Amino acid sequence: MEGKSITTIEGLSTDGTHPVQEAWKEIDVPQCGYCQAGQIMTASAFLEKNPNPSSDEIKNAMNGNICRCASYSRINEAVAVAAEKMN
Ligand code: FES
């Protein structure tokens, strides 16, 4: 990763007000929270590339992130809400 920039969940925003984080709070996505940093970072990177995704595109983009609490419907809803906030 030499010469590359890496953003972690702590660097997404300094005060938790990134649109994805705001959408996560609005939809009340987490249950245990174990998967949430990865879910949020995947959603953020995806929305940077595709700011107006369809529901199928959201499902495909988030497909590789496993949530043992099965909060997939709220995750997908929050990504759609975040997309609206970013546009
Ligand atoms: Fe528990 Fe995703 S919220 S694993």
Domain span at residue 76? 16-86
Task: Find all residues with CB under 8 Å of 33, minimum gap 6, and list them.
Answer: none
pLDDT at position 85 is 96
Residue 6 lies in a domain: no
pLDDT at position 6 is 92
Query: CATH code at 66?
Result: 1.10.150.120
The stretches in the chain having pLDDT less than 50 are: none
CA separation for the pair 16, 73 (Å, rounded): 22
Residues with CB under 6 A from ligand 1: 30-36, 67-69, 71
Domain count, the chain: 1
Residue 10 lies in a domain: no
Residue 69 lies in a domain: yes
What pTM value is reported for the model?
0.93
pLDDT at position 72 is 96
Residue 28 lies in a domain: yes
pLDDT at position 46 is 98
Could you report the per-residue pLDDT of 15-40, keeping only the tens digit for each?
A: 999 999 999 999 999 999 999 999 99
* Mutate which of 25, 28, 32 for ligand 1 pocket (most atoms within 8 A of beta carbon): 32
